[in-house]
Amino acid sequence: MNLRPFTTYLIIGFVALSIPLSAAAQTGNAYSKAEQLLNQQEYQQAYKIFYRLHQEKPSVYTYLQKATECLIQLKDYEKAITITQEANESPRVLIRLGEIYHISGDRKQAFAIWNELQQQTDRQQTLLRLANTMSDRQEHQKAIAVYQKIRREFSASSSISAQLADTYLQAGEYSKAINEYLQLVKSNNRSVSYVQRQLLRFRDNQVYDVAILEISDFLDDLSPAHPQSINLQQLEVWLLMERKLYQRALVTAQNVESQSDQTTYILYNLADRLLAANEFTLAERAYSYYIENNNSSLKYQCMEELASVYRRWASYLENYNLSLSPKKDELYQKAREKLLQIRQQNPNYRQLNEVLIALSEMALDVFHQPKEASKYLKELRKQSSKKVQAQIYFIKGRLHLYNNEHTRARIAFTQSTKETETGALAEKSRYYTALADFYSGDYEFAKIQLNALERQHTSYFANDAVQLRMWIQDGLQADSTGQQLAPLAKAVEYFSQGKDQLGKNKLQEVFHTETPNPLADNALLIWSKHKNGNNVTAIYKELTSYLKQRGAASPLHERLLWEKARIADQFVNTESISPEVPKNDSSQLPQSVDAVINIYEDIILNYPDGFYASFVRQRINELQNIQT
């Protein structure tokens, strides 16, 4: 058999196939190179390649579009218009020609080309492309007219409605835009998130206000039984929250929940957002709704969440010293009562381990009852799961830390971190590992733990980690041996154990040194958080003296001024502290409301836009009302 002819034909076939493949590869390489030059703003060189590709394949619109883009960047509009006019008169090319005229400033010619095309074409895709181009060129009214024509002459779609609404929004016709969005949500249950994204991207209070009014009217005309009613009400609640109309959001969500035959969770989800906004009273009301209505699916979960609200609320008041009454103590007590109710009423509660963890932490941090924490730990041991094992290690670590067993605490926290690796418990374990190192004087090891924690910006402990790292940094900068840092560390540990007198004694080593301690302002703030009738005079005197010496040089100046004002306010206007003040003491506590107002006004003078400015103005008004 002679194979030579067959082999010859085979070779010819391969060669024939390779020619177009090779040409396609060369074209692809040229296009990539031109695209790279365009991105590098080498417009002239990029244009030459794109224009050559356009001449070789005039039917490929992309080459023409890219070539004219280069010329537009070079502001050579005449050439861009010329090569576009020379191209085929397809709708895409005509739209591009009008766009180039528009960019060059000849809006009249652009509209003439676009209007003629609009009258001649009967294709939806062409009209849609034309409308999008007009919108891109900020000719919103022209685009709106084309979108409306598409909707009249072709079947209406969610896509067209969305684009029309977006264009109304860009044109400043907010009422029409919102109505289009609402119709979109009414007809398509998946469009709520799209509408939220568009409004959030626009982020304009006027738009939100119009939307709130329009959606309210829209819902009045919509049957509560309509399948999209809940989605629209959720959108209304979201808008109210964006405008910080928290009370209205709560009432709206509560009405939705009460009118529904089934649990919608709208109020439950709102409670978390209210808590994030520090609207504690409203969050309390939201969770309480499900408890008071004995909602079987949410009652105990809401009791747990409510305990968390009380703890966060108390911590907020304590951290920023915002309450003159013993409210924080009442809140902590209410939190414990809610958790104990869950434990007693529902021993099979699916998140009982979280309840026991919260009770253990409160027993240590708030009530200083390590025996109670040990009791809850014993209950926790009866449960078995990997998550619970990590929690057991964590509470063991907390107990060891409370009992000054730093090494054992570090081991337990490390075991807890290994069990969980990520998540809130792992973050807490890392923080307390750093705290154990801090208490024991291993400051470099503490910094390693804190660095890992600070990288997680959303961590609940990120701020605590930053504060602890700053203490270590400032202390070691002043004295690399850590001798200036050690008294503060020990004082913090004493206070965490409820040993306030020992903590106060240690802080005196920070205040009364031969050379100024860079941690003195932090020490003073820590001490002021533990004031009572026995030490308030000493704290006030120390604050007055320190502020007189350092003034605004202290990084905590505003906060220390606030602490001074709060002590004065408590002394004059409440019975929570009643120290005996020597009358001949020049640093004695003020004796009148006017004197307290003067101290508050000092904060406003120094920090008119500071964190405490709004609280100060509110309190001054209250004090002036007391006087009148």
Query: Mind listing the pLDDT tens digit for each residue in 281-309?
Result: 999 999 999 999 999 899 999 999 999 99
| pLDDT recorded at residue 552 | 84
Every domain of the chain and the residues it spans: 531-628
For residue 486, pLDDT over 90 is answered with yes
Amino acid (1-letter code) at residue 120: Q
CA distance 466 to 447: 10
- Residue tagged 């040194």 (tokens): 513
DSSP one-letter code for 581:
-
| pLDDT recorded at residue 497 | 96
Least confident window among 7-16, 74-83, 400-409: 7-16
| pLDDT recorded at residue 346 | 95
| pLDDT recorded at residue 578 | 53
Least confident window among 48-57, 154-163, 393-402: 154-163
| pLDDT recorded at residue 615 | 96
Amino acid (1-letter code) at residue 595: A
Residue partners of 333: CB distance under 8 A and separation at least 6: none
Asked whether the beta carbons of 623 and 597 are under 8 A apart, the reply is yes
Strand boundaries in 259-379, DSSP class E: none
For residue 279, pLDDT over 60 is answered with yes
Side-chain-side CA neighbours of 117 within 13 Å: the count stands at 28
| pLDDT recorded at residue 17 | 46
Least confident window among 305-314, 352-361, 422-431, 585-594: 585-594
pLDDT digits (tens, 9 = 90+) for 331-377: 999 999 999 999 999 999 999 999 999 999 999 999 999 999 999 99
> What is the average pLDDT across 594-621?
96
Q: What percent of the chain has pLDDT over 90?
A: 73
Backbone phi, then psi, for 9, in 5-degree steps? -65, -35
Residue partners of 397: CB distance under 8 A and separation at least 6: 408, 409, 410, 411, 412, 413, 416, 429, 432, 433, 436
Sign of the C-alpha dihedral computed for residues 470, 473, 479 and 482 taken in this order: positive
**How crowded is residue 612: how many other Cβ atoms within 10 Å of its Cβ?**
21
pLDDT digits (tens, 9 = 90+) for 221-250: 888 888 888 889 999 999 999 999 999 999
For residue 542, pLDDT over 80 is answered with yes
pLDDT band, very low/low/confident/very high, at 175 (cuts 50, 70, 90): very high
Q: Indicate the average pLDDT of the chain.
A: 90
Among 548, 594, 550, 545, which residue's Cα sits nearest to residue 568? 594
DSSP one-letter code for 554:
S
Residue partners of 272: CB distance under 8 A and separation at least 6: 283, 305
| pLDDT recorded at residue 460 | 60
For residue 10, pLDDT over 70 is answered with no
Q: Which residue has the higher pLDDT, 586 or 618?
A: 618
Residue partners of 576: CB distance under 8 A and separation at least 6: 324, 325, 326, 570
| pLDDT recorded at residue 18 | 47
CA distance 437 to 431: 10
DSSP characters over 194-253: HHHHHHHHH--HHHHHHHHHHHHHHHHTS-TTSTTHHHHHHHHHHHHHHTT-HHHHHHHH
> What is the average pLDDT across 190-210?
92
> Can you give the three-state secondary structure of 120-170, one letter per residue?
HCCCHHHHHHHHHHHHHCCCHHHHHHHHHHHHHHCCCCHHHHHHHHHHHHH
DSSP one-letter code for 551:
G
pLDDT band, very low/low/confident/very high, at 456 (cuts 50, 70, 90): low
pLDDT digits (tens, 9 = 90+) for 561-583: 999 999 999 888 875 555 555 54
